[in-house]
Amino acid sequence: MSDVKKFLYVNRKAPYGTIYALESLEVVLIGAAFEQDVALAFLDDGVFQLTKGQNTEEIGMKNFSPTFRALGDYDVQKLYVERESLEERGLSEDDLIEVVYEDEDDDWAEKPAIRVISRAEMSDVMAEADVILSF
């Protein structure tokens, strides 16, 4: 295996209605075993994937949003959320679930993994990635 690459998973679709969000998360979970530098990006309707209080009972789908909270255990430490996408949908950071990771360089202190960034910053995040998987 070659050097560590920067993987960016770009999530642009709502969590339900299509299968993209769920199958994207499946790639992230499998990919975690490959010890690459992993980050997730949420923009457009993808920001709905991280909203609190999802209830899927009536649509017969599994609510997989709790799985995002486990990403810290998979050493996924960066979940970038685009501020403009939140605002365009009447959402703010307060509407999002909490995802934390333990920082091994800081005595395993729990730190928030979700980072709300601007559209311009999101473009930098994408430019720096070696591999972009867009769902």
Partner 1 sequence: MKIGVLVSEGPYTHEAADSAYKFVTAALAAGHEVPRVFFYHDGVNVATRLSVPPQDERHIQRNWTTLAKEHGVDLVVCIAAAQRRGILDENEAKRQGKDTDNLAEGFRISGLGQLIEMAIQTDRLVTFGD
Which one of 40, 44, 56, 134 is in contact with partner 1 (CB under 8 A)?
A: 134
C-beta separation of 114 from 81 below 8 A: yes
74 counts as binding partner 1 under rule CB under 8 A: no
C-beta separation of 81 from 50 below 8 A: yes
Which one of 17, 23, 88, 104 is in contact with partner 1 (CB under 8 A)?
A: 23
In the complex with partner 1, the residue whose CB is nearer, 33 or 120, is 33
Burial 44-75 (b: 16+ CB within 10 A, else e): bbbbbbbbeebeeeeeeeeebbeebeebbebe
Which one of 33, 59, 120, 127 is in contact with partner 1 (CB under 8 A)?
A: 33
67 counts as binding partner 1 under rule CB under 8 A: no
C-beta separation of 31 from 18 below 8 A: no
In the complex with partner 1, the residue whose CB is nearer, 32 or 100, is 32
- Least Å from the CB of residue 49 to partner 1: 16
- Residue list 42-61, contact with partner 1 (CB under 8 A): none
C-beta separation of 130 from 4 below 8 A: no
Give me the amino acid identity at 77.
Q
Note the residues at the interface with partner 1 (CB under 8 A).
1-2, 5, 7, 19-20, 23, 26-27, 30-31, 33-34, 36, 131-135
